[in-house]
Chains A and B, each alone.
Chain A
C-alpha cells in the first residue's frame, strides 16, 4: 500500500497542493512530491489531478470467488409487523440496479409473524422474498437480526445489499459488515452501476453536505450501502406482480439476544418522524417564546406535516431535542421545508438543504436562509404564518 506520483504525467500544476487537506504535498523541480509521514491516503489529490499523475497502489484483497456473488438484496425493515416505506423505496432503486446487472432483486424480511407481508414486497418489485419468521425475532435486536442476515448471505451470496439509513439500518448493517466482513457505505443519496466493471457506485454527502463523494467496494462481497429515506422512488404497488416467497430457517440461541427490551415508551411529545416526513415546518429563535410553537404546529397540521426546530429553540428548552434539524440533530429530505424564524446557519442547513422546496419566513432579509430558499417571505412571522394557515385551509 502506497501512494506515488507518476513523474511522466505530472505537470507540476500545483492543484494537488491545495487539494491536500493535510499539507503533505509540495512541488519540487516541477514535480509533485508527497510527504508520506503526513499523508493519510485520503485520495483527495487523486481526484483533483487533471493528468492522472497520482496513484494509490493497493494490495488486492484475497476475496476468492467474487463472481459467485449475484443479485441485489434489500433489507425489508419492519416495525411492529409493518413494512417501512424506505424498504419500498429501496426496492424501486434495487429494481433498476438489478435490471442493469441482469440479476435478481430479492427482499429479506426478518421478524415474527411477518410472512403475510411478503406479498407487498413482490408487489413493489422484488423477484424473491427470503423470510425469516421466528418468535425470537419479535423485537428488533442488532444481534439476532444480524445473525439472520449473516446466515442468509452465507447461503445465497448476494452481490449487493441495501438497507435504509434509519435508526435500525444504521446499527444493523455496520454490525453485519464487520461480521462478513465487507465494506459498507453510509447514507447514500445516489447509486449507479459502473457499466464496465459492474461495480456499485455509491454517492454520499460528507462534511455536512459540503462535499459529495463516490465510493466503491471493488474486492469484497457483498457491496453494502445504507440509503437515506425519501431519496429513492418506490414503484407503484402492483398486486398482480408475483414472486417467489422462500422461508428460511435460522436457529437462535440465548447468546444471540444480546440486549433486552425492558420497556417501550411512546412519547407523544416526541412523536416525530422527521426523516420520513414529506412536509416539515420548523421554528427557530424568531418565535420568541415557547408557547409560540403552537403557530408552527397549526401550520404543520394544516399541511399534514411534521414539526421541526432549529438548535436555538431546542437549547432554549422550547421543544424537545427529537425535533432538532441540523448537524447535531436530524438530517431530513422532505418535499417541502418551511423555515420560520430560523436564520439558517450552516449547521442548520446541513440538516435540510436537500429538501425539494425550501420556504423561508424571516424578518431579516440578510438571513442566510434566504440564500438557499426556493421561496422566501421577508416579514413578521406572527403575521405571515396565520395568513399562511388561513390560505392553506382555503386551497387544500
Chain B
C-alpha cells in the first residue's frame, strides 16, 4: 500500500487575535503546529502501513518554514516527506490548493490511498480533501471514523463515515481518498529514533518546475475567491452572574429568562 497523507502547518488557533485598535492580526508569540486533525491522518497512514506494508509519504504546501512540520512527521515514523514551496503557490484558495496538491500526487503516480484530516483548524473549510479527489477523479469518503477493511487484493476499501444519525458503512475502489475525524485513532508520540532521523533528514522541496502544472491555475491567479476584509467579531456583552443558594439562583435565572422571552 502506498499511502499519501496531506498535512497543513497552522498557527495555534487559540493564540490568534486581532488588535482592536489597529484591526490587525497579532502574531507575537503565535506558534506553528501541525493541524490537529492531520495528526489523525498521519497516524492512520502509519497504521495502514503496519497492517498492510508499503510506504507513507507526507506532503505539505507552504513556506520554507513548513519544513518543521514535516520533520515532526518523520519523527512519528513516516517514510518520505515532500514540501511544495514556490512563490507562485502563494495566495492559493482551496481550489488552487487542491489543484497544486493533486499535481504532486500525479508526479508520485503510484499510490493506493490518500488520507487528509477532516479540515484545517485555521480555515475550517474542509474543502481541500474532496477537491484533491475531484482533480484526480478518484472516489472519496469524508468524515471517516474507522477503516473497517482493506481486502487482500487491495483493490477496495470499506470505511465507516460519521453521519448525524449514526454511521454509514461505505465501500469504494482504490485508489481513493478519505478525510478522517478524531475518533479514528490516537496519534502516537514521536520516538527517540524518529527524532534522530528527523534531525538529519534532508527535506525534498518541489517547486513549480518540478511538477507538471498549469501556471494559470496556481496561487492567486488560480484562486476564484478573494478575501476583501478581516475584522474582529463583536465581543459578547458582559453577562449576569448569580451566586448563593442553588434554588435562589435558579429562580433568579428562570425569572430573567422569562423576562427576556428566552423561555
Contact = CB atoms under 8 A, between A and B. Distances in A.
Interface of A: 1, 15-16, 18-23, 36-44, 47-48, 56, 58-59, 61, 79, 142-143, 166-167, 170-171, 174-175, 177-179, 181-187, 201, 205-220, 258-267, 270-273, 275-276, 321-322, 324, 327-329, 331, 335-336, 345-347, 350, 353, 357-360, 365, 370, 372-380, 383-384, 387-388, 391-392, 395-396
A327 B39 CA distance: 14
Contacts of A167: 142-143, 162-164
Contacts of B230: 43-44, 47, 206, 211-214
A112 to B, nearest CB: 17
Chain B interface residue number, banded: 35 or more
Contacts of A331: 124
Interface string B15-46: 01111001111110010000011000000000
Contacts of B164: 79, 166-167, 272-273, 275-276
B181 A211 contact: no
7 contacts: A40-B63, A79-B164, A178-B135, A215-B228, A273-B165, A357-B257, A377-B242
Contact of A265 (B16, B26, B169, B227): B169
B239 interface: yes
Contacts of B220: 1, 41, 56, 58
A209 B122 contact: no
B242 A184 contact: no
Interface in B68-94: 87-88, 90-91, 93-94
A240 to B, nearest CB: 30
Interface stretch (B50-58, B191-199, B243-251): B243-251
A377 B252 CA distance: 10
Contacts of A182: 95, 224
A26 to B, nearest CB: 14
Judged by DSSP, the binding face of B is: mixed
Contacts of A374: 236, 239-240
Contact of A267 (B26, B133, B167): B167
B224 to A, nearest CB: 3
Nearest to A275: B164
7 smallest beta-carbon distances between A and B, as pairs: A183-B224, A41-B91, A19-B24, A258-B139, A183-B225, A267-B166, A383-B246
B226 A208 contact: no
A360 B130 CA distance: 38
B100 interface: no
Contacts of B24: 15-16, 18-19, 44, 48
A387 B250 contact: yes
B224 A212 contact: no
B221 interface: yes
Interface in B155-192: 158, 160, 162-173, 181-183
Nearest to B141: A259
Contacts of B122: 206-207
B232 A211 contact: yes
A209 B233 contact: yes
Nearest to B27: A21
Given A374-B239, A379-B249, A392-B254, A177 B127 contact: yes
A206 B124 contact: yes
A211 B23 CA distance: 10
A370 B143 CA distance: 33
B262 A184 contact: no
B103 to A, nearest CB: 13
Contacts of A142: 130, 140, 142
Contacts of B251: 391
Interface in B98-153: 98-99, 121-131, 133-135, 138-143, 145
A55 to B, nearest CB: 12
B258 interface: yes
Contact of B224 (A220, A262, A345): A220
B143 A175 contact: no
Interface string B210-237: 0000001001110111111111110010
B239 A262 contact: no
Q: Which of A178, A184, A321, A378 has the most CB of B within 10 A?
A: A178
B194 to A, nearest CB: 24
A180 to B, nearest CB: 9
A21 B25 contact: yes
A183 B95 contact: yes
Contacts of B11: 21, 207
